[in-house]
Structure 1
Amino acid sequence: MRVGVIGGGLAGLFSSLNLLYAGCEVDIYEEHDRPGYPKHCTGLVSEQTMKMLGRFANKCSDAFFNKIKLEIPGSGNITLHTSSKIVHLDRVCIEEGLAEAILGLGGRFFWHTKAILGGDSTIVAGGLTTRYDHIVVAEGIRREIFKKVYKGGDSAKKVFGINIVYKARNDLEGINVGFHPTLAPGFFYWIFPISDEEIIVGLGTSEPKTSLRAIDVVLKKHGISNAKKIESYGGWIGEGPILKRQLKKNLTFVGDAFGLQKPLTGGGIYPIVSSFTYKNPNSCSDAIAEIRYGTEKVASLLRKQIPIAKVFHSSSFYYILYKIFRNLNGAEIRDDYKLIEYDRHDLSIQRIFLHLPLFLKEIKI
């Protein structure tokens, strides 16, 4: 079977690799000229997600954390000690490794090539129309093909996200995450070290025009001065799945194109890698069926997190958090009973309520 893949980001590359393992002939069309660019991802994942990425993540991790400090400026902070590591991955490094593996298995790349859908089974690119037995759409957050196929049905909420890497001496410990209605309206900000001399500062916001000024405030609040900007990157962050099912027989949407982001944090790496079942399909058609099943299963799990995200991102809930953080300022929570799951916010809250006495025992003020 011949499979055309539109989009050479993480979702497109991971899909292509799995299809090649199953014996498919795969062509990948990517409008940019190299893997991993333009950058847009913060790159924080759970240790479990890193394990699912396997060898492609082993050489691409540059920082490990077991502490998250949640803070509300002017109110207080609560430190969560995680039961497993949180890892910062270099996504460019991962995508370069995937592209190299794909080439080694006979996959073909068409870089710097804008591809559009000619029909359910054809791709138009570079003035040529090519027919495929199946097409995988991994076009990313813009969802141009998605909106064409489903007649504009892109209802997912989006916020603007930005990351800036600075060279700056720092004594930051762990990942610092803050909530504030003017610094990061509708989302949150983050600051963490990737070395003794480099930090990443970022935020999601419903007000993109104020993002750079807000980042300056975050730096000052954490005592970072004389920071030298190394690079900045970002883009739109989706907040949840759009569809429950793959509705087109010859088309499969994956990753951001299917709306697979964690609604609370906007993270896309976990939904992508967890949508693959890691079975050994007997044929190309079986591999396609597994991808379709996997995306639907993950979308179902992510939908359970949408109500949580709506509450945490609302301006009214901020004032509730403000009071909680003021009363618990300086509290330390040790997840010794492994109640908190970094990738499954719905499961974390369910466990906390089911085992509330255990959770309360873990809070030290």
Structure 2
Amino acid sequence: MRVGVIGGGLAGLFSSLNLLYAGCEVDIYEEHDRPGYPKHCTGLVSEQTMKMLGRFANKCSDAFFNKIKLEIPGSGNITLHTSSKIVHLDRVCIEEGLAEAILGLGGRFFWRTKAILGGDSTIVAGGLTTRYDHIVVAEGIRREIFKKVYKGGDSAKKVFGINIVYKARNDLEGINVGFHPTLAPGFFYWIFPISDEEIIVGLGTSEPKTSLRATDVVLKKYGISNAKKIDSYGGWIGEGPILKRQLKKNLTFVGDAFGLQKPLTGGGIYPIVSSFTYKNSNSCSDAIAEIRYGTEKVASILRKQMPIAKVFHSSSFYYILYKIFRNLNGTEIRDDYKLIDYDRHDLSIQRIFLHLPLFLKEIKI
């Protein structure tokens, strides 16, 4: 079977690799000139997600954390000591490794090539129309093809995300996350070290024009002075799944194109890799069926997390959170019973309520 993949980001590359393993012939169309660019991803993932990425992540990790401090400025903070590590990955490095592996398996890349659908089974690119047995759409957050196929049905909320890498001596520990309706309206901000001399400051916001000024405020809040900006990148962040089902027989949407982001954090790496839980497909058609099933299953999981995101992102709930954080200021939570899941926020809430006595033992105020 011949499969055309529109989009050479992480979702397109990971899909292509799994299809090649199953014996598909794969062509990848990407409008940019190399894998991993333009950069846009913060790159924080759970240790479990790193393991699912396998060898492609092992050489691309540069920082490990086991502590997250959640705060509301002017109110208080709560520190969570995680039972497993959170990893910062260099996503460019991962995508370069995936592209190399794809070439080694016979996949073909068409770089600097904007591709569109000519129909359910054809791709138009570079003035040529090519017919495929199946088409995988991995076009990212823009969802241009999605909106044409599903007649404008992109209702998912988006915020603008920015990351700035600074060279600055620091004594930061762990990942610091803050919620504030002015600094990061509709989302949150973050700051964490990737070495003793480099930090990443970022945020998501419903007001992109204020993002640079807000990151400066976060820097000052943490006492970081004489910081030298060495890189910046970003883009739109989606907040959760759009559809429950893959509705077109010859088209499969993956990653951001299907709306697969964790609603609370906007993270897209976990939803991509967890869509591929089957590694032993007997045929190309089996692999396609498994990808379709995997994306639908992950979308179902992510939908359960949307109410949690609403509580933390909505200004309507901000003052409730403000009071909670003020009353719990300085609280330390040690997850010795492994109740907290960095990816499955829905499971975390469920486990905490089911095992409340154990959870209360882990809280030190």
> Which of the five TM-score ranges fits, normalised by the shorter chain?
over 0.9
CA contact (8 A) 2:179 2:312 kept: no
Alpha-carbon distance, 1:356 to partner: 1.1
CA distance in 1, matches of 2:281, 2:352: 38
SS at match of 1:343: coil
CA distance in 2, matches of 1:78, 1:280: 43
Alpha-carbon distance, 1:308 to partner: 1.1
CA distance in 2, matches of 1:328, 1:15: 44
Alpha-carbon distance, 1:321 to partner: 1.4
Aligned partner of 2:58 in structure 1 is 58
Alpha-carbon distance, 1:36 to partner: 0.3
CA distance in 1, matches of 2:316, 2:175: 25
CA contact (8 A) 2:263 2:306 kept: yes
Aligned partner of 2:187 in structure 1 is 187
Deviations 1:123-148 (A, max 9, x none): 00000000000000000000000000
Q: TM-score normalized by structure 1?
A: 0.99
Deviations 1:244-288 (A, max 9, x none): 000000000000000000001000000000000233011100010
Alpha-carbon distance, 1:320 to partner: 1.2
Moved more, 325-334 or 149-158: 325-334
Aligned partner of 2:151 in structure 1 is 151
Deviations 1:75-98 (A, max 9, x none): 111110000000000000000000
Structure 1, unaligned runs of 5 or more: none
CA distance in 2, matches of 1:147, 1:228: 41
Q: TM-score normalized by structure 2?
A: 0.99
SS at match of 1:202: strand
Alpha-carbon distance, 1:316 to partner: 2.3
Deviations 1:37-74 (A, max 9, x none): 00000000000000000000000000000000111111
CA distance in 2, matches of 1:331, 1:277: 37
Moved more, 252-261 or 306-315: 306-315
CA contact (8 A) 2:18 2:279 kept: no
CA contact (8 A) 2:176 2:192 kept: yes
CA contact (8 A) 2:20 2:107 kept: yes
SS at match of 1:302: helix
Alpha-carbon distance, 1:330 to partner: 1.2
CA distance in 1, matches of 2:216, 2:223: 11
Moved more, 198-207 or 277-286: 277-286
Aligned partner of 2:265 in structure 1 is 265
Structure 2, unaligned runs of 5 or more: none
Alpha-carbon distance, 1:357 to partner: 1.4
Aligned pairs, number? 365
CA contact (8 A) 2:260 2:272 kept: yes
CA contact (8 A) 2:141 2:237 kept: yes
Structure 1 segments of 4 or more deviating over 4 A? none
CA distance in 2, matches of 1:316, 1:247: 35
RMSD between aligned residues: 0.6
CA distance in 1, matches of 2:279, 2:193: 37
User: Matched residues, percent identical?
Assistant: 98
Aligned partner of 2:275 in structure 1 is 275
